[in-house]
Amino acid sequence: MVGEPEPIDDSPAGTAFLQATTVEVPGADGVRMYLPLLDGSDQVGVMALTLDTVDDNDRRLLRILAGLVADMLVTKHSYTDQFFRARRREPMSVAAEIHWSLLPPLAMAVPQIAVAGILEPAYDVAGDSFDYALNEDILHVAMVDAMGHGLDAATMATVAVGAYRHARRADIGLSEIYAFMDRAIAEQFGPDPFVTAQMMRLNIATGHLQWVNAGHPAPLLIHDHRVVRQLAGPTTLPVGFGGEEPRISGQMLQRGDRVLCFTDSLIEEHEAGEEQLIHWVNLRCAPSQPRRPRTTTPGTGSLPSRPSPTGGVRRGAADPPGLRGCLGRCPATPHGRRRLTYRPTVSERNSKEPERHGRTQTCSRNANTRTACGPGSRTDEFPAPRRSVGRRPTHGRPVPCGN
């Protein structure tokens, strides 16, 4: 059975979720066990059960059982709606349903790198999406933000991502990928609709990052736990407007560097601006902050919300729209691992451009991903949550964006 949602902070299930370790809680009726459900380094959830007593052999068998349960959740979720129903807390819009089915796995990890992403608001996202692929030593990442709302925006974003995948799999350059996406949107939707986009390519062996910016704001470079500068570079017209061949920007990432990107909806909804975002990033990246291996989301305390009259910030009642994600290189390890964290950017738009809706996040990094869900009755299995430890609205799984 599926347990009720629990706070991810200060709960045994949350500790198992965040730390990817077994948590034992002695009680009057036995020992309550919380075991992380992992698909490689990706968190699937937490399994909770109660035993009268526990010894080392029990712990070994439970770890094996947790692995089997995680495998079942990953391999069988496409055959049933039961897991989707358990994770959702409210109805999902048709546009959001299309987007979630379009997305790649929200988390991917290999020894050299990990990738993660998330859409917000999860139940009503429309025009924002992302995609990624790791081909040998090259990590490809793209974020798109289609104009408009609802099904129109979702359809346009679907075409944009499909065109991106097609061009990427043809093994062509970033400029050619942009041109192919541009033609696909123009031919399908005419001259007026458009999609802002950012396509990135990172050599995980050398740390060389390249990108084409088609309407998104400059990413933030984080070094030594602080934002050191914006990765400003030439921008081209949004996809669909028939822009000229874009200029490719480049940056060498040192080990431990991170690149933070986000769509404009995040900044505009919070009405805080990039300076407030940079301030928040510096606070979250401070060495004194606990390194929680998870993807946090606005509306749950992860990002500053609208400024209050006193100059502070307050959280809105609902998650604001926007696309965000992070990308960063791992510090050196005994195994030579590198880590990447990636966050999508803010699109520059003038006041006459049509409003877009939705937020996406992608992250890539090398650390092990951790995800947890809440406890239920004596033998409970929990699909992965979003911010709280409990039911999660979609099939995706969050991953960390911090160190």
Burial of 195 (0-12, 13-18, 19+ CB in 10 A): buried
Tokens of 106: 């929200």
Average pLDDT over residues 61-73: 94
Please name which of 84, 77, 29, 36 lies closest in space to residue 391, comparing C-alpha atoms. Answer: 84
Tokens of 372: 């947890």
Tokens of 169: 């799999």
Residue 393 pLDDT: 37
Q: How far apart are CA 49 and CA 32, in angstroms?
A: 6
The answer to whether residues 34 and 13 touch, using CB atoms and an 8 Å cutoff, is yes
Evaluated on CA atoms 90, 95, 101, 105, the torsion sign reads negative
Helical (H) or strand (E) element with 156: helix 150-169
386: pLDDT confidence band, cut at 50, 70 and 90? Answer: very low
Q: How far apart are CA 260 and CA 274, in angstroms?
A: 12
Residue 337 pLDDT: 34
pLDDT of 140 over the 80 cut: yes
pLDDT of 193 over the 70 cut: yes
Range of 81-90, 171-180, 270-279 with top mean pLDDT: 171-180
pLDDT in tens, 276-333: 778 777 887 777 654 444 443 333 333 433 322 222 222 222 333 444 555 555 554 4
- Which residues in the chain are classed under CATH 3.60.40.10? 94-364
196: pLDDT confidence band, cut at 50, 70 and 90? Answer: very high
Cβ burial 318-330 (10 Å sphere, 16+ → b, else e): ebbbbbbbbbbbb
Burial of 373 (0-12, 13-18, 19+ CB in 10 A): buried
Residues for the chain: how many in total?
403
Distances, alpha carbon 111 to alpha carbons 37, 144, 168, 361, 382, in Å: 19, 28, 23, 22, 26
Please name which of 355, 391, 340, 308 lies closest in space to residue 107, comparing C-alpha atoms. Answer: 340
Could you give the 3-state DSSP secondary structure of residue 60?
A: helix
Q: Report cis status (omega within 30 of 0) of the bond before 320.
A: no
Q: How far apart are CA 390 and CA 87, in angstroms?
A: 8
Residue 324 pLDDT: 53
Work out the angle at residue 297's Cα, subtended by the Cα atoms of residues 295 and 299, and round it to the nearest 5 degrees: 160
The answer to whether residues 216 and 143 touch, using CB atoms and an 8 Å cutoff, is yes
Q: Across the chain, what does the average pLDDT equal?
A: 73
**Residues facing residue 239 across a β-bridge:** 195
Q: How far apart are CA 402 and CA 233, in angstroms?
A: 25
**Residues facing residue 47 across a β-bridge:** 35, 381
What residue ranges in 204-297 does DSSP mark as E strands?
208-214, 220-223, 226-230, 249-252, 258-262
Q: How far apart are CA 242 and CA 104, in angstroms?
A: 28
Q: How far apart are CA 62 and CA 64, in angstroms?
A: 5
CATH of 94-364, one of 1.10.1060.10, 1.20.1440.230, 3.60.40.10, 3.40.1350.10: 3.60.40.10
Q: What is the pTM of this model?
A: 0.70
Query: How many angstroms from the chain centroid is the CA of residue 337?
Result: 21
Fill in the DSSP letter of residue 246: P
Q: Can you tell me which residue has the tokens 């803010």? A: 346
The answer to whether residues 63 and 33 touch, using CB atoms and an 8 Å cutoff, is no
Q: How far apart are CA 146 and CA 136, in angstroms?
A: 30
Backbone angles phi, psi at 129, to 5 degrees: -160, 170
Residues 333-336: contacts with CB within 8 Å, 24+ apart?
335/111
Could you give the 3-state DSSP secondary structure of residue 98?
A: helix
pLDDT of 32 over the 60 cut: yes
Rg (CA), the chain: 21
Burial of 232 (0-12, 13-18, 19+ CB in 10 A): exposed
Range of 80-94, 331-345, 369-383 with top mean pLDDT: 80-94
